[in-house]
Structure 1
Amino acid sequence: MNNKELAKVIIDNVGGESNIKQLSHCFTRLRFTLSDDKKANIKVLESTPGISGVVTKGGQFQVVIGSEVGNVYREINNLVDITEDELDLGNNEKKEKLSLFDKFVDIIQGIFTPILAPLTAAGMLKAVLAVIVAFKWIDKASSSYQVINFMADATFYFLPILLANSAAKKFKCNPYLAMMLAGMLLHPNFTAMVTAAKEGGMAVTIFGLPIYNATYSSSVIPIILGVYLMSKVEPIADKISPKAIKFFTRPLITMFVVGVATLCVLGPIGYIISNFIATCVNTLNSYVGWLVPTVMGIVMPLLVMTGTHHSITPIGINNRMTMGYDTIVYPGQLASNVAQGAAALAVSIKTKNSELKQLCSATGITAVCGITEPVLFGVTMKIKTNLIASMIGGGVGGLFLGVLGIKNFSGGSPGLLTLPSYISTDAPMSNFYLACAGAAIAFVVSFAVSYFLYKEKKEINADSDVLLNSDNQAVSDILIQPIKGEIQDLCEVKDETFSKELMGKGAAIIPTEGKVYSPVDGEVFNIFRTKHAISLKSNKGADIIIHVGLDTVKLDGKYFNAIVKNGDHIKKGDLLLEFDIEKIKEEGYDLTTPVVVVNANDFKSIKHTNKNSEFIVLEA
């Protein structure tokens, strides 16, 4: 499936274009804000090739893609017309109620996710510079070193400006005024005044109000507090400004009030908080430096699973900005990421399933390089032994790195490719060598545990009877025909989602009776709100969707009647749905009904037949 086809499947199964309020992406995930999450078909998305998993957290509907996420994002934007007004969530629509913690995580994600690319680029430039200096390929006194160094430092020095832009978009205020506020904190004249005040023992004031003697380059918290205040002041400035001159007075009032408040109050508060965090980290390192990297190595898969790992990222950034290095966040993440990749690579070697082998090897390599979402949602969450191995390997590696107090100097996505970020011209090379050793320990331990614990699943459940088809061949399951009518191949269906088997393999029926019967023994997994489709889970493990008609979702449930409800246990032949054939035809809809097995990859082959009441045969 190419990226354009995948984009179409995603749009259709998040509820269509009209259900998308906002769309963004990070390194591995598409991040949707949907009008109604219930319209999304999670089961289909998770079973679609090219999608590693689906996460709903903090008001976002996240589709995990992997390294191709940027290309898929572009294809979706080519297919979906979302205007800037539609992207503005500051409307009066009812928003999902979130807990305080979920709100905090959502804010951190919204602010830091957009700037991960420049942070990674800066970190990698620093790492490369450290390598070429370590190998004496370049001299620190040379202009080449100085140029590359300031190129890398640019992101860190002007970090408040980057944060101002993303924070303004999150808090729904003017991003350009927010960047102007960051510029005030970084202006060379302000820096010079603070430096002179420190040397002379004097205070900088504005209208008698003292300004704290602190500079804010590379800072994190002060600008976020300032932009949050701006989001509250800007609407007030708009309200009190005379309509005729609002264009001039609104930004004037906003920037004067917020600028003074940030320089005199919020900036110092943020500065003090940042230093307090750094002091706590130093204290923690002095007494139990091994603890946090160990815990991070163990629980990181669970944090990424829930999206809460983004709330930890600012701590690592703050540590590097205030102390010059981080010893708790990035070392623990390094051990965890390498361990997850190693666990998947162990399965890729042991398994005889060609598709699982390919999935584990591809996502495992990506994970050891620093990006874990594909392996987490594609492998780790689905194979419990891999989760156990990842947590054990991550914990052991994190303990090793923590006990030795290994320092990370420039960040990046924690993995083998960013190991040079543990090199510094001001630190011994042993720090780098020990970081490599910690990553190796995490890899070896996780690989060994995963290889030992993983057992290949049998194709047929041990506690079930072996099924025979009409030719007396062993099969995994047999589906009976759910609707009376003419059977046709899926490729003949006039909808590419089905004809190209994007949702799964199976067959289609042209109904002659408006009744849908259960094709399997199993459970009703989901009846769509519009009742035009039903998802079933067979006792033999098949995930089945029966979709009555094409585009009949537009009828919004009219002419459909559900006989069963979600969670009902069903037997072959039980009546599930009723629909009015004639009325639906009068509305102009094609009643061709696809019946697809969503998890087709779990079976060796899927074929349809009309022999001896057999409709679809799933072969082990």
Structure 2
Amino acid sequence: MDYKKLAQQIVESVGGKGNISSVTHCATRLRFTLHNGDQFDEEKLKAINGVMGTVVAGGQHQVIVGQDVANIYNEVTPLLDGKMTADTVEEPKSLFARVLDTISGIFTPILPAIVGASMIKVLIILLTMFNLLSETSQTYTVLTFVGDTAFYFLPIMLAYSAAVKFKMNPMLGMMLGLMMIHPTYMSMVEAGESVTIFGFIPMTLAKYTSTVIPIILVVWVASYIEHFMDKVVPNAIKFFIKPFLTLLIMIPIAFCVVGPLGTIVGQGLESVLNVIQTQAPWSLPIIFGVAAPIVIMFGMHYVVTIPLVMTAIAANGFDMLGAGFLVANVAQGAAALAVSLLAKDTDFKAMAASTGVSALLGVTEPAMYGVNLKLRKPFFAALAGGLTGGLICGIAGVKRIVFGPTGLTTIAIFVDPDNTMNFIFAIIGVVASFVVAFGLTYMLVKKDNKMIEEI
């Protein structure tokens, strides 16, 4: 594939570089924030060889390109040559759309670090289960702290990505994240003794390691203060006075107001998830066994799931959403593979087979947009498969032990050292979702003469 040519075609079809405010990418999509959404030509984009589909959701204009997204993104960014903004007025977005766009923009860049650390934790579980690694060995110690690093220092990574999203100096944003998990502050939290700032402002001693909401709120507030300082501080002394005043003002705000408020919000979310995961653990796998493809269709899977999953794992050591996504992904792959078995057109048969395998491994957009949604009946058969697998995983209470993508290559994230049946029921759910989705698709497509002719 000529990535450079493809990148040029995509940039032209979204309105040119002058219409692009920002761009990032996830596992399969280029995610554009545009000044004028009317210039996003969906028909032109879909006609480009290499583009699998488009989605407009949460204030973002998304171009689905599959697993080559990183290579294409690397060719898109040079085309913007620093001109990420233009004189055109950005179209107004609803509050809901702006919130979703912000959450997605903050979490998407940190995913490689989170996923990499998660897989290290999975490796530790497997090696110790099969007695290939001793818990007293130095290798175990090293792998453990490496696997924990991304989660322990999560506020720092979020501080950086949030600062970029809020157009604040990213190093200053990281400074805010670092001060909230500084060893001296952490020792104050452990001591539990009352602390005041400037002699009269009481500090709330909350623990911010592995948290999500507090640091995002802190950086959001700090961005307004920094922008204000940029306007009022004279240029001659701005270099050192602007960061100085921003930090000085943010110390009491972060530790006494915004940080504790974010902690309260996070604890409230933890409480809700805890109630669901303890009182109705069956519900989340069932819901997301069906809803996962729909959430993915609208490009909301990162926005909806990541904050919930990371909050659940930090609070309880597991989450119940992952099983739903696992069986839903497998069902999409099974449906596409069933279509490939019936297809006579060589190109379509190859595409259905390759995208079906990709879906089984956890990347469903190519199969969903290129095959299942295009033919419709396979998509509904995949929903039925996801529901079946979700029911099994829900009733059995299948837990995802560490955060990670859900597919056959990463199914070890469901290995629970304390409950071997957790992994076994995950496998049963996968098999059930595959059989139902594959069988239904095969029957529905084979009986549809028009569809058989089409493929």
TM-score with structure 2 length normalisation? 0.94
Counterpart residue type for residue 360 of structure 1: A
3-state DSSP of counterpart to 1:137: coil
Per the alignment, residue 541 of structure 1 pairs with none
Q: 1:87 matched to which residue of 2?
A: 84
- Which fold has the larger relative contact order, with Cα–Cα distance below 8 Å and residues 6 or more apart in sequence? 2
Q: For 1:355-374, list aligned pairs within 5 A.
A: 355-374=347-366
Could you say what the CA RMSD is over the residues aligned between the two structures, in angstroms? 2.1
Alignment equivalent of 2:182, drawn from 168, 180, 187: 187
Are 2:196 and 1:205 aligned? yes
Distance in 2, matches of 1:194 and 1:217, equals: 11
What's the offset of the Cα at 1:237?
A: 2.0
Rounded Cα–Cα distance in structure 2 between residues aligned with 1:238 and 1:221: 26
Q: Kindly indicate which of the two structures has a greater share of residues assigned to strand.
A: 1
Q: Does 2:399 match 1:418?
A: no
Shift of 1:457: 5.8
Match runs of 1:45-84 below 5 Å: 45-78=45-78, 80-83=79-82
Is 2:292 aligned against 1:300? Answer: yes
Superposition map of 1:595-606 within 5 A: none
Aligned mate of 2:163, from 159, 168, 173: 168
Q: What residue is the counterpart of 1:326 in the other structure? A: 319
Counterpart of 1:446 (choices 424, 437, 442) is 437
Residues 195-594 of structure 1 mapped to structure 2, 5 A cutoff: 195-197=190-192, 202-207=193-198, 208-312=200-304, 313-327=306-320, 329-425=321-417, 427-455=418-446, 458=450
The unaligned stretches of length 5 or more in structure 1 are: 462-601, 604-620
1:146 matched to 2:141? The reply is: yes
SS at match of 1:331: helix
Does the aligned pair in 2 maintain the 1:225–1:266 contact within 8 Å?
Answer: yes
Q: Residue 222 of structure 1: CA displacement?
A: 0.6
- Report Cα offsets for 1:545-599 as digits up to 9, x if no partner: xxxxxxxxxxxxxxxxxxxxxxxxxxxxxxxxxxxxxxxxxxxxxxxxxxxxxxx
Deviates more, 1:63-72 or 1:236-245: 236-245
Matched, 1:26 2:26: yes
Cα deviation for residue 167 of structure 1 reads 0.8
- Tell me whether 16-25 or 107-116 shows the greater mean CA deviation: 16-25
Q: In the aligned structure 1, how far is the partner of 2:435 from the partner of 2:250?
A: 53
TM-score if structure 1 supplies the norm length? 0.69
In structure 1, what is the equivalent of residue 2 of structure 2?
2
Q: CA deviation at 1:460?
A: 11
Amino acid at match of 1:139: S
1:192-236: per-residue Cα shift (whole Å, max 9, x none)? 111012xxxx21221222222221111101100101101211122
- Residue 325 (structure 1) shift: 1.1
Percent of aligned pairs with the same amino acid: 39
Q: Which moved more, 1:281-290 or 1:317-326?
A: 281-290
Task: Show structure 2 runs of 5+ residues with no match.
Answer: none
CA apart distance, 1:396: 1.6
Cα 1:18–1:239 change in 2 (3 A) is closer
14-23 or 290-299: bigger deviation: 14-23
1:140-193 deviations in whole A, cap 9, x for unaligned? Answer: 111111111111111111111111111111111111111000001110110011
CA contact (8 A) 1:28 1:68 kept: yes
- Is the partner of 2:90 in helix, strand or coil? coil
Q: 1:103 to 1:39 in 2, by over 3 A?
A: closer
**SS of 1:98 mapped into structure 2:** coil
**In structure 1, what is the Cα distance between the partners aligned to 2:411 and 2:212?**
24
Q: Is the 8 A contact 1:274 1:322 kept in 2?
A: no
Q: Which has the larger radius of gyration?
A: 1
How big is the shift at 1:388? 0.6
1:92 CA displacement: 7.1
Counterpart code for 2:81: I
Structure (1/2) with the larger helix percentage:
2
Instruction: Write the letter of the residue equivalent to 1:380.
Output: N
Structure 1 stretches of 4+ with a deviation exceeding 6 A read none
* Number of residues of Structure 1 aligned to a counterpart in Structure 2: 452
- Report the Cα distance in structure 1 between the residues aligned to 2:223 and 2:87, rounded to whole angstroms: 16
1:19/1:241 CA distance change after superposition, 3 Å: closer
CA contact (8 A) 2:372 2:379 kept: yes
